[in-house]
Amino acid sequence: MASQVNIITVGGGKGGIGKSVVTTNLAVGLALGGQNVVLVDTDYGASNLHALLGISNPKRGFLDFFTQKDKNSNSLLLDTGIGNLKFVSGAGDNPGSANLQEKHKNRIFDFIKNIQADYVLLDLGPGTSYNVIDYFNIGAQGVVLTIPEMPSVMNSFSFIKNTLFRRLDLELGDQPKIRELMDFSKNPDAANEMYSLDQLKKNVGKNNPTIVKKIASITAAFKPNLVVNRVRNKKDLLLGQHLIALVKKYLEVDLNYLGYIVESDQVRNSVNEMIPFLIKNPQSKPSENLQQVIGALTHSDIHLVKRGGMIFVSKQVRLSSGWDS
């Protein structure tokens, strides 16, 4: 399902956890590091990513993708004022704009997969609707964001579970039993029965043992990343470890822990001032945290320093084992 384009998707299943702020600053950090980056807002109907970039009124958005006469999708790529960084707005609060038809969603997927850039970052809307998790699944790298509160951790678990089951549903959709067990919208009772991957495999294996191997193979290829946002102390980090353990136990999925970002007034102030915190103060603690996350995502080490109103960047690429001798 993943595209050949290097797409990074950021989701979490719950609103208000800082997805848009983190995604924006990830895109900024990659762009400052010399990569050509396109940041895409997929939260139709509740779009706010443009404000985090200091753009008050986006000239174009995805609504134009279906109404513009010239059908030139490249015109959706807006300048951000930040070198190497373009932006695609999801702005448009028209009724129904958050509920795209399948044909429209597929057109947007094709557009995203054909963007010419080093990285394309997608900021996803809240929830676990198919519109949201289908975006997550087109990414080459998916990032799950959570905050250190139990409701958010459980929402993130549900997000990961629904994303995995949706992936299984699409890849094994020719199996009626699979669809019956995993499409909770058509079979609400299955939600309680299918809490874990092991339960799914046991139910499917009764009728079709060979399909269990396919489920295991698809699951093994599903490798989402985890970032814990708004961390205040070491105890907060334990909830991130708790999520990793839950996902391993019930879904047989290995979450790749990228790092954390501390709770900080500097982040809130940057949002109010409509300036990415990585630009406002690249040497702040949350900025240092984010640079470590970027390094884990890109297998490199990036270090930003601001002097005299200019940001200086140093970057080192990590060698894989076998090349470092």
Buried b / exposed e along 166-181 (16+ C-beta atoms within 10 A): bbbbebbeebeebbeb
DSSP string, 142-197: EEEEE-SSHHHHHHHHHHHHHHHHHHHHHHTTT-HHHHHHH-TTT-TTHHHHTSSH
Which of 101, 102, 140, 134 is CA-nearest to residue 119? 140
State percent of the chain over pLDDT 90: 63
pLDDT in tens, 4-45: 579 999 999 888 999 999 999 999 999 999 999 999 999 876
Task: Look up the domain containing 47 and give its range.
Answer: 7-151+223-317
Which of 276, 269, 282 is CA-nearest to residue 309? 282
45 part of a folded domain? yes
DSSP 308: T
287 part of a folded domain? yes
185 part of a folded domain? no
pLDDT in tens, 223-257: 999 999 999 999 999 999 999 999 999 999 999 99
- Per-residue confidence (pLDDT) for residue 320, from 0 to 100: 62
- Per-residue confidence (pLDDT) for residue 298, from 0 to 100: 93
Low-confidence ranges of the chain (pLDDT < 70): 1-4, 45, 66-72, 91-100, 177, 181-194, 320-325
Q: How many domains does the chain have?
A: 1
Q: What is the CATH number of the domain that holds 104?
A: 3.40.50.300
DSSP string, 96-120: TTTS--HHHHHHHHHHHHT--SSEE
What is the Cα gyration radius of the chain? 20
As a whole number of Å, the end-to-end CA separation of the chain is: 36
Predicted TM-score (pTM) of the model is 0.91
Q: Give Cα 247 distance to the centre of its chain.
A: 17
323 part of a folded domain? no
51 part of a folded domain? yes
313 part of a folded domain? yes
- Per-residue confidence (pLDDT) for residue 48, from 0 to 100: 82
Q: Give Cα 223 distance to the centre of its chain.
A: 13
Tell me how crowded residue 105 is: count the other CB atoms within 10 A of its CB: 16
- Per-residue confidence (pLDDT) for residue 309, from 0 to 100: 87
Report how far residue 217's alpha carbon sits from residue 220's, in angstroms, rounded to the nearest whole number: 5
164 part of a folded domain? no
- Per-residue confidence (pLDDT) for residue 95, from 0 to 100: 43
188 part of a folded domain? no
